[in-house]
Chain A
Amino acid sequence: MIEAIWQYEFLRNAFIAGILIGFVAPLLGVFIVVRRLSLIADALSHVTLAGIAANLLLGKNFAYFANWNPLYAGMGFSVVGALFVEKLRSIYKYYQELAIPIILSGGIGLSVIFISLADGFNTDLFSYLFGSVSAVSRQDVWAVLAIACVVIGIVVLLYKELFLLSFDEEYAVISGIRAKLIHFIFIVLVALVIAASMRIVGVLLISSLMTLPVAASIRIAKGFKQAIGYSILFGELSVIVGLLLSYQLDLAPGGTIVMLAVLILLIVIIWKKWKRG
């Protein structure tokens, strides 16, 4: 197996991209979960799907678009979707969670229209929905690497602001933190990571890579930094073992990765219960 990774470029690409995503998805996930926005990733991933479907449709009709990497269209849609989420959250101040079903159904609706116009399902689309080990190109790896660097850099630089906003938004505003700007930057980062992750985990399962490792982590973590550390550890464990298994057993990597994340979560919950006696 290990030799195969060295031998085949597509496997190497999948692993590099997977390891990067296994790091940044749970990293952002911690902030998402503690702010009780777990479903936002779901909403944005469906908008990303609409972007991919739009790209497939354009590629079918215009030769010019056929060679475009759908990653970029997905990213574009996802970022625009993120802006809508923030806008809706400020319009419906008292029903902030409403933004999520609105964006989610909008994304699905658009995707279905684009897909049917492009004459329905093909294997390419299937790989975007559920992830694929063989679909990651070298270009994808570079894009994922660039996104990972931007995300990690910004989270490090804005760590104390992001922490305060997550823990106590009112206090953050009172103490003079530029809350709106930081929200905006954060949600754009989430959109970018979702677009970057879809090749490996797939659109339908990416939100679980942002939330499941965090759900396990906050059961046992002392403090926020530790919560981030455990989340990334669990995320990487799911991705690496998931990719190995999916290659070995010829399964869709998205499903394997997510089921491993579920398994880790179960183990942590049981271990915690058992420890308490």
Chain B
Amino acid sequence: METEYVLKMEHVSFRYEKENVLEDINLAVPKGAFVGIVGPNGSGKSTLFKCVLGLLKPQQGKIYLFGTPIEAFKDWHRVGYVSQKANSFNTGFPATVYEVVASGLAAKRGMFRFFTKKDRQAVSEAIEAVGMSAFAQRNIGELSGGQQQRVFIARAIVSKPELLILDEPTVGVDIHHVQSFYTMLDELNRRLGMTLILVTHDIGTITEKVTHVACLNKHLYFHGKAEEFEKLGEQTLSQFYGHPLQVLSHQH
């Protein structure tokens, strides 16, 4: 059987004005993969995602989501997205955890339609899946950064997307919660078979959980199995980052 690709990028280039941000990106993400993308600041991570989410149109190349060219792609509820929200959202916003998670279903349900009983159940399940049931009726602003990030994951998974994209989801999450956060992602990937793409600069944690690793710095340098990436060792990584880099060892 032919491998099914959830996301495919072919020769994608993007530039703002004169500056090239992405150059000739090729990426193929098979169904069920957990892809980690690492890259220094300014490597084009956010631009890459904006292209994949259809917010930016690359000048060159083609992007396919579930085999459909992105220009023709309409089933956006199949794609979930978690941004670096812990940094930027309005913490004074009067919304409960439940309301925030339910808003993840708005587009799927469609205009002029109300949430059904099934929807409400899906919301409770998503909150449960990220371990936030006890906080469902709390205001989102009262939670810690790590808890908020879990809520945003719940919002992204409530519509049961097949592909979940996470942009530095652990920024602003305190160090103790990062590990349990990755364990949760691992479960989504294994248990629900959700395809995950995660951007991070935390190389130490990433190689432990993911199935594929890619390095981004304008170009996409490596795209292979996680075990092979570990073999590359420090030297290659330093070259890639342009400065020596400490790869954190895992504490088992």
Contacts and interface: CB of A to CB of B under 8 A. Distances in A.
A163 B102 CA distance: 10
Interface stretch (A1-9, A88-96, A200-208, A224-232): A224-232
B74 to A, nearest CB: 8
B106 interface: yes
A163 B93 CA distance: 11
Given A157-B112, A160-B109, A222-B137, A175 B76 contact: yes
Nearest to B105: A160
Contacts of B77: 175-176
A55 to B, nearest CB: 35
Interface of A is mostly: helix
Contacts of B100: 167
Contacts of A172: 106-107
B96 A170 contact: no
Contact of A161 (B54, B55, B81, B106): B106
Contacts of A175: 76-77, 81, 104, 106-108, 159
B53 interface: yes
B92 interface: yes
Interface string A212-226: 000001100111111
A178 B53 CA distance: 15
B16 interface: no
B106 A160 contact: yes
B147 interface: no
A160 B101 CA distance: 11
Given A158-B112, A160-B102, A173-B55, A223 B94 contact: yes
B137 A174 contact: no
Contacts of A34: 90, 93-94
Interface string A172-184: 1111111000000
B60 interface: no
A224 B94 contact: yes
A171 interface: yes
A226 B93 CA distance: 12
Interface string B127-140: 00000000001110
Nearest to A159: B114
Contacts of B155: 171
Contacts of A224: 94-96, 99
B106 A222 contact: no
B195 to A, nearest CB: 17
A178 B94 contact: no
Contacts of A166: 93
A266 B102 CA distance: 33
A80 B173 CA distance: 46
Contacts of B138: 222
A250 interface: no
A223 B53 contact: no
Contacts of A170: 83
Contact of A221 (B76, B81, B94): B94
B115 interface: yes
Contacts of A167: 89-90, 93, 95, 100, 103
A171 B99 CA distance: 15
A178 B111 contact: yes
A164 interface: yes
Interface string B50-72: 00011100000000000000000
Given A171-B81, A175-B76, A176-B77, A223 B107 contact: no
Nearest to A160: B106
Contact of A163 (B53, B89, B106): B106
A168 interface: yes
A227 B83 contact: no
B106 A223 contact: no
A177 B112 contact: no
Interface in B124-169: 137-139, 155, 159
Contacts of B90: 34, 36, 167
Contact of B76 (A157, A176, A222, A225): A176
Nearest to A228: B94
Nearest to A36: B90
Contacts of A217: 94
Given A36-B90, A160-B105, A172-B106, 9 more contacts: A157-B111, A160-B106, A160-B115, A167-B103, A168-B85, A221-B94, A222-B94, A222-B139, A224-B96
A-B pairs with the 9 shortest C-beta distances? Answer: A223-B96, A175-B107, A176-B76, A227-B94, A160-B106, A164-B103, A176-B107, A224-B95, A164-B106
